[in-house]
Every structure is written in C-alpha cells, then in structure tokens.
Amino acid sequence: MKGSIIVVLFFAFGCFIGWLGGGVSEVSVEVASGVVSEVPEGATLLSAPGVESPNEIFENVHSGDGISNSGWLPAFLVDGALTTFVLYFLMLQVGLSIGADKKLKEIFLSIKPKYLLIPLGTIIGTLTFSALAALFLSKWNVFDCLAVGSGFAYYSLSSILITELKAASIGEAMAIELATIALMANIMREVIALLCTPLLCKYFGRFAPISVGGATTMDTTLPIITKYCGKDLVFIAIFHGVLIDLTVPMFVSLFCSI
Amino acid sequence: MFIVISIMFLGVGLGFLFKNLSLLNNISKSITVTIYLLLFLLGITVGSNKSIVNNLASLGWQAFVIAFLGSLGSAIAAFLVYKFFFAKDGEVSNEG
C-alpha cells in the first residue's frame, strides 16, 4: 500500500512536470513521429533547457498546442526515447534479482507439479475476464484489454511495456493512453489484493488472495497473504509471484503484437 | 519485443553466476529506484500530452473496469482450483 502511494506520487509528479513543460497535443505527436523522427539524436540534445531565454520559455508554456514539443522540456523526455534505455536497465536488474535469489532453488524444489494449477488458474481467470472488459470499453479491442489485464498487478512494468510496444500499431498517443489505463488498472488490482485479502480468503478459498495478488505475491502482498491465509502458503505465494512475474513481459508483448 | 525478454533472461543467467557478489544483495533497492525513475519519465510523457490530461477521469473509470474484472476472474479461478484439486485431500490444511 505504501509502495503504491509512493509510485502514484512519482507518476503524478512526472505528470505535473510534463503538464508544465510540454506542449505536445495529440495531433503534434503524430506529426513529430512522422516527420521529425529523421532528426539525429544530437540535434534534440542541443534544444535542452538553458539554451532559450526565460522570456521564450514563458511564451512557449502558454502558447501550448499545435507545434510539436513547444514546451521547455527536452524532446527526449517528452517523446519517451530515454524511457526505452531505462526499461532495458530495469529488465536486466529484474533478471539479476531472480537469478541471484539464494532461496530460488529451495523454493522450486519444494514445489509439487500440482501447485502449478494456481498460477495457471490466475492466468486463465484474469485473461478470460479481462477480455470481457472489451464489451464495456468500446474504445479498445479485446487484445488491448488483455494487454492491460496481463499486467497481473505489475503496474510499472506493464504500463512501460505497453508504451513501448503499442506505439507501432495504434500510434504513440493511443499507446500512452492505454499505458495510463494499464498503470491505473494494475495499481487498483494491487490495492484490491491488499485490502480484500480477508474477504477473498473467506468467500473464495485460501488461494484467492494469491491469484488476485498476481505478480505481487512474492513481495508487496506476501505479508498480508501469510497473515490471513496461513504461513504454510508462503512458498506457494513466492513461487506463484515469480512465475507470474516472468509471464508479464511475455503476455504483454504478445497481446501488444497481435 | 524480444529485446526486453532476452535482456531479462541475460540478467537471470548473470544473477545465477554471480549470486555471491554482495552488490546483488541490494538489487531490490536499485530496482525500486529505477521503477520510480521510469514512472516519473512516463508521467512526463503523459502530463505533456494534453489530450490525455483532459481525459484523466474517463481513463480512471476504464482502468477500474479492467482491474475489477481481472481480480474477479482470478478469484473465481482460484476458488475452482482449491475446490476441485486441493480441498478434499487436505494437503494444504485450513489451520493456517
């Protein structure tokens, strides 16, 4: 819970900075990706803040729409080019943390094949019902909804992957919109898992909090699951979290590429 | 899309090989910091896009629909898995 509040704060702070400093409207994003993409990296770096006089900055902030990147923020911040490299760095670290986990072998050895049914149930249940969301949301097709749902509460990774991978098929502006939905939806899912664990355990059985927790059952929701569902589920929860964690980039990229 | 996944598996391999390095014990902290940085950058991209900022309320509603349905679906699936495969043999007891 504390974790998701901090994450929301960082995201909101970024939104505020972007809102203050960027002047990119939906139309100009299309223009920028179509025409200006030929400009070499060095050229965008030269247009960093500090080159312009304070007076021009003031005018740009208030003139806003129409011209691509009319704000004072450098283009590589607004168009998300830097995000790609930071994402690669993040994925390397996620891999390192899984590979270097000293309990990894123990956990996998203590797991019986039968326990695979729990992550399998999580995946099938989530994807089936996420697909149903397309009936209520006319703007998005089934695969868009599946891409959001297959974040399995791993909000940071799923939203970033959608930003990167969906841009090619539905355009950058739509991709960012879907990524924002993915961020909110997966944060909401983590909050649901954290707040509803006692209820879920009572009405849907002992595995329900694990399934709803998705990829977070190895860290953020682990304490509350062991508290309300029993300590004997700790390894099942971690095993489930690790497996779902690994499937997030696969499913999100799969549904983004269809 | 394969770049992202292959970088992660490269990380798994490196992490397994070098798991005795003390540097890797603090990796979860640096992951957290990197996630904050990424979300801040994503926030800038979202915030500078006027068409999204003006529709934030409607996006939140759509997000809730997907979050609620995804949670409900997985809870039902977990209920079925427990009922049909685990409840009878008491392998995972209810004592807690």
pLDDT digits (tens, 9 = 90+) for B23-35: 777 887 888 788 7
Q: Which residues of A touch B70 (CB under 8 A)?
A: 126, 129-130, 133, 149, 152, 185, 189
| Rounded CA separation A57/A47 (Å) | 12
Question: pLDDT (tens digit, 9 = 90+) per residue, B62-94?
Answer: 999 999 999 999 999 999 999 998 877 555 544
Amino acid residing at A158: S
**What pLDDT, on a 0 to 100 scale, did the predictor assign at position A94?**
77
8 A C-beta contact, residue A18 and residue A64: no
**What pLDDT, on a 0 to 100 scale, did the predictor assign at position B77?**
96
**What pLDDT, on a 0 to 100 scale, did the predictor assign at position A155?**
83
**What pLDDT, on a 0 to 100 scale, did the predictor assign at position B80?**
95
Residue predicted with more confidence, B1 or A132: A132
| Rounded CA separation A175/A54 (Å) | 33
Question: pLDDT (tens digit, 9 = 90+) per residue, A125-179?
Answer: 999 999 999 999 989 999 999 999 999 998 888 988 998 899 888 888 899 899 9
Query: Which of B30, B33, B36, B48 should we substitute to test contact with A (largest number of A Cβ atoms within 10 Å)?
Result: B48
- The partner residue sitting opposite A180, judged by closest CB among B41, B46, B78, is B46
Q: What is the ipTM of this complex?
A: 0.72
Q: Which residue of A has its CA nearest to B95?
A: A230
Q: Which residues of A touch B79 (CB under 8 A)?
A: 204-205, 207-208
Tokens 């898992």 label which residue? A193
**What pLDDT, on a 0 to 100 scale, did the predictor assign at position A84?**
78
Flag if B47 and A89 touch (Cβ within 8 Å).
Answer: no
Flag if B1 and A165 touch (Cβ within 8 Å).
Answer: yes
Residue predicted with more confidence, B13 or B49: B13
Residue A135 near chain B (CB below 8 Å): no
**Averaged pLDDT, groups of 10, chain A, 258 residues long:** 70 86 50 36 38 36 43 75 82 82 71 88 96 93 95 88 88 89 89 87 93 88 81 83 91 90
| Rounded CA separation A140/B90 (Å) | 43
8 A C-beta contact, residue A173 and residue B51: yes
Reported pTM: 0.68
**Spatial CA neighbour of A188 closest among A158, A208, A165, A230:** A158
Structure-derived torsion over alpha carbons of residues A14, B30, A157, B58, reported in degrees to the nearest 10: -30
DSSP state of A41: H
Question: pLDDT (tens digit, 9 = 90+) per residue, B35-52?
Answer: 788 878 878 877 887 766
**Spatial CA neighbour of B35 closest among A251, A155, A220:** A155
